[in-house]
Amino acid sequence: MTSAPSSVQLFFLYDSHCPWSYAATPLINEISNAYPEITLHLWHNAFFSSLNEADTHVTKQEITEVERIANINFSTEYMQTIEHSRNSTLAANIMTWAQLKNPSLALPLLNAIQEAHFNHGLNIESQADLEAIISELKLSPPAKVFKNEALTKDALELIQEVFSLQDIIGTQAIPALLLAIDEELILLNHNFYLTEPKAIIDAVQLELDQYNN
């Protein structure tokens, strides 16, 4: 039986269109299922947006590496879009809204967005790409979250929180999983668990046991 004190929080720094983040999301699912009492923060850093001046393409080499290390396969539909630039602005906007207004549905929403993008090849760059997901989850997001050309004020403010947290841990790499127990911040090495997501539970419990002792 897993247990955690009420002061424990889990931060997931990610981009919905990042293949490495997609590979790491099953770890978040496992932790959330095992420790429903842990407060979950899904912080979209909008790496694939106009906020970042870097190349917003994902390369076939990167996909091959993710498949090799995480032992997953990307769909034909997704691979057919691989030469297109990524734009996660809209996804960042709606994920930030969900995190702030409907946190219990934020993780199901992230899973659904990644399913649509990586399995069905949807770019998630228009309201139409999200209609089925919104209907299934019974969400009622405001019109402002459907912007694809600019991040909302809430998304920008949350990204500043991401940057601050990245300064603390000394890396801007995504994805990043951080366990916060009171004032202690622990960076979990997600790479160890990509092929066996359930194993992350033992790592989390070890950190909790060490803190309690």
**All structural domains of the chain:** 8-212 (3.40.30.10)
29-33, 48-52, 180-184 — most confident range: 29-33
Identify whether the C-beta of residue 66 lies closer than 8 Å to the C-beta of residue 23.
Answer: yes
Q: Which pTM value belongs to this model?
A: 0.93
User: Tokens representing 124?
Assistant: 């998630």
133-192 tens-digit pLDDT? 999 999 999 999 998 889 999 999 999 999 999 998 898 899 999 999 988 899 999 999
Q: Is 85 exposed, middle or buried (0-12, 13-18, 19+ CB in 10 A)?
A: exposed
The pLDDT, as a whole number, for residue 1 is: 45
Q: What angle do CA 187, 33, 6 make, to 5 degrees?
A: 65
pLDDT for 148 equals 87
* pLDDT > 60? residue 4: no
pLDDT of 69-119, one tens digit each? 999 999 999 999 988 889 999 999 999 999 999 999 999 999 999 999 999
